[in-house]
Amino acid sequence: MANRLEIQDLWVSHEGKKILRGVNLTVPLGEVHALMGPNGAGKSTLGKVIAGDPNYQVEKGRILLDGEEITELEPDERARKGLFLAFQYPVEVPGVQVANFLRLALKERLGKEPPITEFYARLKEAIDLLAWDEEVLSRYLNEGFSGGEKKKNEILQLLVLKPRYAILDETDSGLDIDALKTVARGVNSMRGPDFAALVITHYQRLLNYIVPDVVHVMMDGRVVKTGGPELALELEKRGYDWLKEEVAGA
């Protein structure tokens, strides 16, 4: 079995406008990759399409998870296969307590009702790791949460559900330094041979705490450069203009 998330020549449009123009990207299990690029490059679109957002039209290409094509699968089917998306803008769900949401989500993830002791052990471990008060579990999902709390709650879900592949879409957006460190601690605790992540971000600062194995850069709907962690440092220092010129001259 090919233990990786693989994007092959992916072309995607939205309301008749082409957004992704032949994306090729591979994230092997056991690695954390960063996806960077200027505004409008298509980074968040790629994350949504991998997760199965029906608002985007795949015109060409394939998405494979562990060697199985998932391009046509519904979002819930992808999630059951171990794919997780942390949203850039998490939605509020009034009336649904965080604990109940996580229990139902874990049931879907496992395909069966989780033993109550196992479920609460996962919850306790995750809450402790995030240095969060347990009272959050009785609050309604994201309702009245600050921006930082919403992002923290996405990582709480990650820790409880334990997916094989996670797409983290600008999880650092709007976080102060303490929240950033907490979120990074949660993600880093997941690292290992049975977990992979694609971290979508504009900035190096998140990558100071979640050091990627590989960095990809997107521009104009495609991946134009791939390198090691030093590539993110170079982008932080020089911006994107030099790379635009390099791509234009290629």
Confidence of residue 154 (pLDDT cuts 50, 70, 90): very high
Average pLDDT over every residue of 224-244: 90
Residue found by looking up tokens 């406008």 in the block: 17
Which residues lie across from 225 on neighbouring strands? 217
Q: Which pLDDT tens digit goes with each residue over 165-191?
A: 999 998 888 788 888 999 899 999 999
User: Which tokens is 245 given?
Assistant: 């010129």
Confidence of residue 249 (pLDDT cuts 50, 70, 90): low
User: Which tokens is 39 given?
Assistant: 């505004």
Q: What is the model's pLDDT at position 87?
A: 80
Q: Name the average pLDDT for the chain.
A: 92
Q: What is the largest CA-CA distance in the chain?
A: 59
Prediction pTM value: 0.93
Q: Which pLDDT tens digit goes with each residue over 84-138?
A: 999 877 888 899 999 999 999 999 888 899 899 999 999 999 999 999 999 999 9
Domains of the chain: 4-249 (3.40.50.300)
Average pLDDT over every residue of 59-65: 97
Alpha carbons 153 and 62: distance in angstroms, whole number = 31
Alpha carbons 102 and 164: distance in angstroms, whole number = 17
